[in-house]
Amino acid sequence: MNHHGSFGEYFKSLRLKRGLTLRDFCLQNGFDPGNISKLERGIFAPPQSDEKLRDYAKALGLREGSAEWIEFFDLAAAEGGRLPEDIRKDSSVIERLPAFFRTLRDKKLPGEALDKLIEKLKHS
């Protein structure tokens, strides 16, 4: 997974990757250009609705289950202070999260150490 900063920045990068202006993207998909502009600039938070996120993801040409799709939903969840849907549905992960959160708080990992932890988790 790449780090794209905010959900809005990632949304915009995906739209531009498809070669679409904001207006063209909105006209093709029936979205309000003012709202999408505010979403891309971080003025509007990512939608909380998985249905709306799916609409946006499909309009951006993301394939369900792809790395881009997952990052799109993960960024939206993180900015909304939520856990991604697939994580919420995994009871074995959910029951371990409180201990994981306590560990992160106790260790107070600086950015570089947290990045190393993430890499270690990716490869385990």
Predicted local confidence at residue 1, as pLDDT: 44
**Could you read off the pLDDT of 71-116 as tens digits, one per residue?**
999 999 999 999 888 888 999 888 988 888 888 788 777 778 777 7
**pTM for the full predicted model:** 0.80
> What's the rounded Cα separation, in Å, for the pair 104 and 80?
20
- 25, with CB counted inside 10 A (0-12, 13-18, 19+), is buried
- List b or e across 60-98, with b for residues whose CB sees 16 or more CB atoms inside 10 angstroms: bebeeeeebbebbbbbbbeeeeebbeeeeeeeeeeeeee
pLDDT at residue 2 tops 60: no
